[in-house]
Amino acid sequence: MLRSALLSAARSPGLRSAAEHSALARPVVDRFVAGADLDRALAVARQLTADRFVSMDHLGENTTSRAQAEDATSAYLSLLDRVGAEGMADRVEVSIKLSALGAALPNGGAELATDNAASICARAASVGTTVTVDMEDRTTTDATLETVRALRRDFPDTGAVLQAYLRRTEADCAELAGPGSRVRLCKGAYDEPSSVAYRDRAEVDASYRRCLRVLMNGQGYPMVATHDPALITYAEELAAARGNFEFQMLYGVRPRAQRALAQAGRRVRVYLPYGSAWFPYFMRRLGERPANMMFFLRSLTSRH
């Protein structure tokens, strides 16, 4: 209930603009977001790379103009240039959202987003790193997977993301478990109806296990994106005979567990968002854990 309300608030342009312009929110948001600008984000990435890997996300989604889509693309190209110039390409990749690159624009938005994503993949390849295409809400799943397939023709190491809460995902895992296929498996962060998604926690977790088995038994490279201790243990069991996979967690979520896994010799990648368009991302993080909401409200009220 609270989660649905937060996810619906995340789509409100008015709330988004008010929150993103409020100086009060920034210190709280910084728990999950590595600052508004690239310099700060790269400094955080550098620290994390001491023991982990990183996937950087220039925040933004649901772009409403071609100019915004171009700006988002340029931001990624500048980011990748800096990653290359600063010698971090072996540990730092990028995550992109097709809706930030123009996918939802009328008259050719899908093609525009695919072209913009291809430019980003080309720049990533030229500096020696990779791109993973985030998965957004259910209305975009087919188009996003289609774009990943198109990108993989020239850039076979482009990562896909699958969401275990969708009923279709076990079949998508089987399709995407081919040689070299990088697939991030997450539970899913949007508010989806029961016609297409499991809504019960236990059902989502059971689906995650089934999907993970398919990926771990396949020939690709599973990227196990969860903070759930039971699923992490399950992944360790499945992976006992296989070294070729990684754990992924969000910046600011269970950092001690991230470091412990890295110390135990696991490959751990931190998803690191930065930028000023933080509102929808932040609201999804609040929705995942009601305690975050209390922390957020307390910090706002304690400043008055």
Q: Rounded to an integer, what distance in angstroms lies between the CA atom of residue 216 and that of residue 235?
A: 8
**Is 211 a residue that touches ligand FAD (CB under 6 A)?**
no
Q: Rounded to an integer, what distance in angstroms lies between the CA atom of residue 257 and that of residue 273?
A: 19
Size of the site for ligand FAD (CB under 6 A): 24
Catalytic residue among 16, 184, 266, 269: 184
**Rg from Cα positions in the chain:** 18
**Is 228 a residue that touches ligand FAD (CB under 6 A)?**
yes
DSSP 266: -
The C-alpha angle with vertex 118 and arms to 92 and 245, in degrees rounded to 5, equals 40
**Is 185 a residue that touches ligand FAD (CB under 6 A)?**
no
Q: Closest distance between ligand FAD and the C-beta of residue 248, in Å?
A: 4
**Is 99 a residue that touches ligand FAD (CB under 6 A)?**
no
- Report the residue from 161, 215, 216, 277 that binds ligand FAD according to the rule CB under 6 A: 161
Q: Look at residue 274 and give its three-state secondary structure.
A: strand
**Is 258 a residue that touches ligand FAD (CB under 6 A)?**
no
Phi and psi at 221, nearest 5°, equal -120, 100
Indicate if 134 belongs to the active site.
yes
- Does residue 51 contact residue 97 with C-beta atoms inside 8 Å? no
- Report the residue from 140, 144, 158, 163 that binds ligand FAD according to the rule CB under 6 A: 163
- Does residue 240 contact residue 4 with C-beta atoms inside 8 Å? no
Catalytic residue among 52, 57, 82, 134: 134
Considering only the stretches 166-174, 246-254, 260-268, 274-282, report the one whose residues sit in contact with ligand FAD under the rule CB under 6 A.
Answer: 246-254
Indicate if 200 belongs to the active site.
no
Q: What length does the chain have?
A: 304
Q: What residues between 275 and 294 interact with ligand FAD by CB under 6 A?
A: 285, 288-289, 292
**Is 141 a residue that touches ligand FAD (CB under 6 A)?**
no
Q: Rounded to an integer, what distance in angstroms lies between the CA atom of residue 166 and that of residue 179?
A: 24
Q: Closest distance between ligand FAD and the C-beta of residue 85, in Å?
A: 25
Q: Closest distance between ligand FAD and the C-beta of residue 283, in Å?
A: 10
Strand order in the sheet with 53-58: 131-133, 92-96, 53-58, 268-274, 246-250, 221-225, 182-186, 160-163
> Catalytic amino acids?
134, 184
Contacting residues toward ligand FAD, per CB under 6 A: 134-135, 161, 163, 184, 186-190, 225-228, 248-250, 253-254, 271, 285, 288-289, 292
